[in-house]
């Protein structure tokens, strides 16, 4: 890797570093998503899509939304470019002082937000779930769950700051694996604590808080090794902190527009029994490929783009087009597979215990609607990273406002005929609009992205997806899905279908001489050679 002051890294070297980092994050995210599925299967089996489940998922949406807005969303997007600039142009001591000042400031702010949130929980629930007002028991349970889970925001916010520091110094493993502990905490709470509660869902809320604390503490050893462990520094007027604050303000909406759109869906879904639960599980399935590939690549890309921007290497930033090609190379087949196998997947993972066949159909409808915009959900994260690396938060927020207005209008238009699925479709369509507008403005800012190469790549992806369509249609049409039990046979058929689809997709790309496949295969060979030596 080039030294700090060396700007001679070739685009290929930078791509390799980014993809290797994305690989580490992707593996960790895969493990986290697998445990997340286990967690969701446990919750679906224990609570189905009834009153307790609706109350929990609405209550969890509140601190989770604030986490996206104040922590993993705006904090990461604003902090990493500023902190990377300090690492590039100043001393490590200066960078540590900035990190410590940011830690103390964030701790103070989030503590205040948590206290206010706990006190204002009844009013927050009425705002975010107005449809719950006709059931006092459900509204009261949602309020109690909200109060229990608000401290999660404090812990996960500080964990996001730790992640920003570690990612800036290209240390990705500890923050990437920390969500594994979050899922373990919830699963353990559901099995070990729930029997001791009169209302078992309260134990799951306690597990959320414990999981957030575990995510923070698990990153402390890595910070210590990097000699960047936070200290107490009450310097709210620190130059870097002020800069982060200026960047955060518009980023509260800009980077987290998807979460804001989901919040709108949650509010409107409260009018449909089971609606919040169907949307939650539907988005969980969408987050599986999105988290493993889209978020992983965006997380790995931001420090690299920020360093290039700090050095004034705008030509290197135009290489973002390769990131878009790579993400679509992976996300589009996942999107096709989710659309065609949505019912078998939901049935196999969730239709147990109190989760009924009707719940499967409701969740599958949400998956179909969300999946339409999966490529845009992933692409937005990549493109927004380029804007934040340039410390431009104004453009994304203006685009986000337009997308948010479109989401509200589409939600009101579609929720009548399509119910909760219309809300999911509105979220997907607004993400597509967001993606398109961001690309237009970024092209004006940086110049040509190499659209010819991108279009050729997308054409290969579409052609290579044909075997996926054929295989998934065959698997989804098998009679085994209408039979009770026989879970082993269903699992085998789903695994075989996915395996054949992937093999066909890769084969077509190999025959077409895909640049993305060649790049990834070359990276794998380098890893194998390095491991053998």
**106 or 27: which leads in pLDDT:** 106
Q: CA nearest 406: which of 426, 435, 436, 378?
A: 426
Percent over 70 (pLDDT), the chain: 80
Where are any strands of DSSP class E within 57-147? none
- Residue 155 CA to residue 111 CA, distance in Å, equals 10
- Cα 500 to Cα 224, 345, 468, 509, 513: the distances in Å are 45, 16, 8, 14, 20
Mean pLDDT of the chain: 81
- Among 223-232, 417-426, 476-485, the minimum mean pLDDT is found in 476-485
Residue 7 has pLDDT above 70, yes or no: no
What tens digit of pLDDT does each residue of 448-464 get?
Answer: 666 788 888 889 999 99
Given a contact cutoff of 8 angstroms between Cβ atoms, the answer to whether 333 and 504 are in contact is no
**341 or 401: which leads in pLDDT:** 341
pLDDT score recorded for residue 529: 62
Q: CA nearest 415: which of 213, 278, 218, 239?
A: 278
Confidence of residue 340 (pLDDT cuts 50, 70, 90): very high
Percent over 90 (pLDDT), the chain: 29
- Residue 362 CA to residue 346 CA, distance in Å, equals 10
Average pLDDT over residues 249-269: 67
Confidence of residue 410 (pLDDT cuts 50, 70, 90): very high
Given a contact cutoff of 8 angstroms between Cβ atoms, the answer to whether 198 and 239 are in contact is no
Contacts of 210 (CB under 8 A, 6+ apart): 185, 189
Given a contact cutoff of 8 angstroms between Cβ atoms, the answer to whether 53 and 47 are in contact is yes
Q: Is the dihedral of CA 341, 344, 350, 354 positive or negative?
A: positive
What tens digit of pLDDT does each residue of 157-172 get?
Answer: 899 889 888 878 877 7
Q: How far apart are the first and last CA of the chain?
A: 19
Q: Which of 105-119, 261-275, 475-489 has the highest mean pLDDT?
A: 105-119
Give helix 342-350 / helix 320-340 axis angle, nearest 10°: 70
Q: CA nearest 48: which of 388, 340, 278?
A: 278
Give helix 296-310 / helix 74-89 axis angle, nearest 10°: 40
- Residue 475 CA to residue 500 CA, distance in Å, equals 11
Residue 249 has pLDDT above 80, yes or no: no
Contacts of 287 (CB under 8 A, 6+ apart): 33
Burial 479-496 (b: 16+ CB within 10 A, else e): eebeeeeeeeebeebbee
What are the residue ranges spanned by the domains of the chain?
12-449, 450-527
pLDDT score recorded for residue 61: 79
**212 or 79: which leads in pLDDT:** 212
- Among 4-13, 60-69, 87-96, 124-133, the minimum mean pLDDT is found in 4-13
In this structure, what are the phi and psi dihedrals at residue 4, rounded to the nearest 5 degrees? -60, -40
Given a contact cutoff of 8 angstroms between Cβ atoms, the answer to whether 453 and 319 are in contact is no
Confidence of residue 34 (pLDDT cuts 50, 70, 90): confident
Note the pTM of the prediction, 2 decimals. 0.68
- Among 4-13, 36-45, 292-301, 420-429, the minimum mean pLDDT is found in 4-13
């Amino acid at each position: 890797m080039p030294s700090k002051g060396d700007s001679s890294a070739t685009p290929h070297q930078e791509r390799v570093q980014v993809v290797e980092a994305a690989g580490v994050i992707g593996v960790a995210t895969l493990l986290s998503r697998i445990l997340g599925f286990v967690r969701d299967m446990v919750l679906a089996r224990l609570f189905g899509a009834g009153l307790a489940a609706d109350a929990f998922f609405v209550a969890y949406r509140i601190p989770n939304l604030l986490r996206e807005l104040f922590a993993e969303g705006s904090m990461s997007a604003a902090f990493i470019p500023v902190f990377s600039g300090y690492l590039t142009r100043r001393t490590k001591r200066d960078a540590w002082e900035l990190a410590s000042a940011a830690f103390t400031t964030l701790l103070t702010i989030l503590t205040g937000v948590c206290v206010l949130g706990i006190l204002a929980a009844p009013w927050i629930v009425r705002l975010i779930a107005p449809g719950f007002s006709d059931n006092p028991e459900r509204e009261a349970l949602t309020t109690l769950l909200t109060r229990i889970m608000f401290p999660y925001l404090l812990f996960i916010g500080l964990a996001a700051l730790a992640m920003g520091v570690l990612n800036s110094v290209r240390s990705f493993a500890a923050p990437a694996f920390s969500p594994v502990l979050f899922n373990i905490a919830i699963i353990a709470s559901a099995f070990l604590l729930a029997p001791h509660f009169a209302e078992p869902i309260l134990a799951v809320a306690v597990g959320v808080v414990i999981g957030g604390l575990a995510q923070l503490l698990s990153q402390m050893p890595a910070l210590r090794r990097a000699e960047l462990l936070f200290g107490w520094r009450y310097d709210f007027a620190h130059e870097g902190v002020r800069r982060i604050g200026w960047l955060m303000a518009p980023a509260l909406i800009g980077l987290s527009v998807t979460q804001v759109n989901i919040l709108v869906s949650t509010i409107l879904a409260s009018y449909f029994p089971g609606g919040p639960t169907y949307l939650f599980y539907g988005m969980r399935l969408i987050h599986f490929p999105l988290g493993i590939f889209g978020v992983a690549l965006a997380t790995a890309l931001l420090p690299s783009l920020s360093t290039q921007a700090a050095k004034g290497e705008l030509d290197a930033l135009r290489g973002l087009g390769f990131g878009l090609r790579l993400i679509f190379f992976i996300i589009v087949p996942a999107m096709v597979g989710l659309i065609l196998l949505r019912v078998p997947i939901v049935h196999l993972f969730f239709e147990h215990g109190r989760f009924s066949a009707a719940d499967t159909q409701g969740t599958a409808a949400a998956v179909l609607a969300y999946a339409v915009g999966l490529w845009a959900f992933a692409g937005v994260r990549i493109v927004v990273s380029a804007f934040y690396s340039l410390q431009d938060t104004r453009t994304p927020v203006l685009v986000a406002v337009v997308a948010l207005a479109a989401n509200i209008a589409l939600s009101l238009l579609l929720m009548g005929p399509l119910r909760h699925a219309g809300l999911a479709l509105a979220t997907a369509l607004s993400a597509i609009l967001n993606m398109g507008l961001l690309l237009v403005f970024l092209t004006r800012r940086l110049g040509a992205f190499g659209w010819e190469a991108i279009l050729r790549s997308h054409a290969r992806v579409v052609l290579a997806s044909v075997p996926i369509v054929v295989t998934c249609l065959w698997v989804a049409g098998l009679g085994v899905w209408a039979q009770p039990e026989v879970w082993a046979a269903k699992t085998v058929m789903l695994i075989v279908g996915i395996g054949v689809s992937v093999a066909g997709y890769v084969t077509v790309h190999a025959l077409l001489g895909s640049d993305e496949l060649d790049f990834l295969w070359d990276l794998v060979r380098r890893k194998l050679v390095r491991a053998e030596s």
